[in-house]
Amino acid sequence: MPEKVIVVGGGLAGLSAAARLAHNNYDVTLLEKAPKLGGRAISIPMKGFNFNFGAHAIYARDKSILRKFESEIHLKVDWKDFSPSKAFYDLGSYTTPMPATLEGLYRTKILDSQNKLRFAYEVFKTMAAIERGEDGVPIGEYLEKEPEQVRDLLLTVASSNFFTNEAEKIPSPLFFQYYKRLFSTHRAVSYIGGGWQAIVDAFAEIIEKNGGSIVTKEKVTKVELDGKRITAVHGKEQVYQGDHYIFCIPPKELFSLFSDTPQQKYFEEYARYVPTQVVVYDVGLSERIRSPFTYVYQKAQRVFITDISYYDTTCVPEGGQLMQAVAYLNEEEIASGKADEKVALIESVYDKHFPGWRERLVAKRVSKRATVQEIKCIDDQRLMPVKFYSLSNAYFAGDWCKGEGQLSELSFSSAYEVTSRIMKHPVEE
């Protein structure tokens, strides 16, 4: 008899974990509370446009854990590589190429020639692990030894990779670990043809093709325990039993799910941490606007715009254009309700770089508090372990769990880790 696995949560972590185990002959049941799969990677069709929640950019594609899913379980991914020559920084009175490649570094005006060399040297030291950071020292403080221009550029780059307004608060060891991996990749950023929906559908297909079941509109509300072992989880009306349980739901949900159990206290710390939240403003246009940019980052206000449809034509009706603007928020801005101001600010950035967008506007979508990552990697906030000693057959995955990279890469890599552990430890007869 195949071992039975219950996966709770149908976001990218739950789907990738369930697909890998189904492919490896486990009897998998995935339970998702929403009517649709995808979690934060959901796609919303509107007036012929397909609005993704998130730009579906995958960083360090050639090192991405998605490559393992491609080769091991035949996940189909239509990679669309980012065009660095069309990526610019807006520095107020002028725009300049983003130094995402050697050519970009040569052409950019964000650094003078002396600092270009210094920046290149910093990249080399990061790749060679000469720079590793220091526990307890945030990157802003660690980089104080660098010339102002170099420090500023490194923090600007980190702002976009970590989706944060507070890049200086990123722990320095995490910063260097992240960039060691990113700087040594040949493809720093790629998008996915068909958007997140294509990945969601591909995982769901693998699960079902291998006999797994997917139950939507099934919120798990209770766990049953026998000492350290989970014996069942409860849905609306049904009870699900398995040999292993993978919880791919955020810490706040775990905290309430494990209420009435002695293990609840283990989730408390993670449920208290602040997430990375942003304002997202997507616009669907009837006709493309000619522009030299497919990506522009307005440095002063920390707003970036990506022309999603330049990479993925499946998200627009013929001839249309879909752009996504993201504005970062820090805790203070969230607390003082600055999201509305950010919406107006984003519109002014669209006006500046894509004049004529208002006349061509067909559909738009604004989210004032979109959660990009459940636990923001700043200060002493720590990501959750994928396994606790006091829960012997329970595993955890999601972008709040320990793993590689940031954002969805954490979801995929934690899912990969827990499924490897399950496969390594077969249940005894």
Ligand X SMILES: Cc1cc2nc3c(=O)[nH]c(=O)nc-3n(C[C@H](O)[C@H](O)[C@H](O)COP(=O)(O)OP(=O)(O)OC[C@H]3O[C@@H](n4cnc5c(N)ncnc54)[C@H](O)[C@@H]3O)c2cc1C
φ, ψ for residue 394 (rounded to 5)? -115, 140
The residue to which tokens 């996504």 are assigned: 324
- Smaller CB separation from ligand X, 111 or 271: 271
Element at 3 (helix H, strand E): none
- Smaller CB separation from ligand X, 168 or 399: 399
What is the number of alpha carbons within 13 Å of residue 225 lying toward its C-beta?
18
- Smaller CB separation from ligand X, 12 or 204: 12
Cβ–Cβ < 8 Å for 279, 370: yes
List residues near ligand X by CB under 6 A. Answer: 8-14, 31-34, 39-41, 53-58, 219-220, 248-250, 253, 257, 278, 280, 370-373, 398-399, 407-409, 411
φ, ψ for residue 109 (rounded to 5)? -105, 10
- Smaller CB separation from ligand X, 40 or 181: 40
Q: Please give the Cα distance from 51 to 339 (Å, whole number).
A: 20
Q: Please give the Cα distance from 68 to 75 (Å, whole number).
A: 9
The nearest distance, CB 101 to ligand X, in angstroms, is 20
Q: Please give the Cα distance from 338 to 336 (Å, whole number).
A: 6
- Smaller CB separation from ligand X, 243 or 253: 253
Q: Please give the Cα distance from 414 to 123 (Å, whole number).
A: 27
| Chain centroid, CA 349 distance in Å | 24
- Smaller CB separation from ligand X, 140 or 235: 235
For residue 159, what are the contacts with CB-CB under 8 A and spacing of at least 6?
A: 165, 167, 302, 328
The nearest distance, CB 123 to ligand X, in angstroms, is 22
The residue to which tokens 């290149």 are assigned: 120
Q: Please give the Cα distance from 164 to 44 (Å, whole number).
A: 25
3-state secondary structure of 111: coil
The nearest distance, CB 384 to ligand X, in angstroms, is 11
- Smaller CB separation from ligand X, 8 or 377: 8
The nearest distance, CB 58 to ligand X, in angstroms, is 6
The nearest distance, CB 325 to ligand X, in angstroms, is 10
The nearest distance, CB 16 to ligand X, in angstroms, is 8
Cβ–Cβ < 8 Å for 49, 365: no
The nearest distance, CB 25 to ligand X, in angstroms, is 23
Torsion-angle region of 366 (φ positive above 0: left; ψ -120 to 50: alpha; else: beta): beta
Cβ–Cβ < 8 Å for 248, 308: no
The nearest distance, CB 40 to ligand X, in angstroms, is 4
Tell me the two tokens of residue 191.
Answer: 């998008």
Strand partners, 277: 371
The nearest distance, CB 203 to ligand X, in angstroms, is 11
- Smaller CB separation from ligand X, 115 or 411: 411
3-state secondary structure of 225: strand
- Smaller CB separation from ligand X, 366 or 423: 366
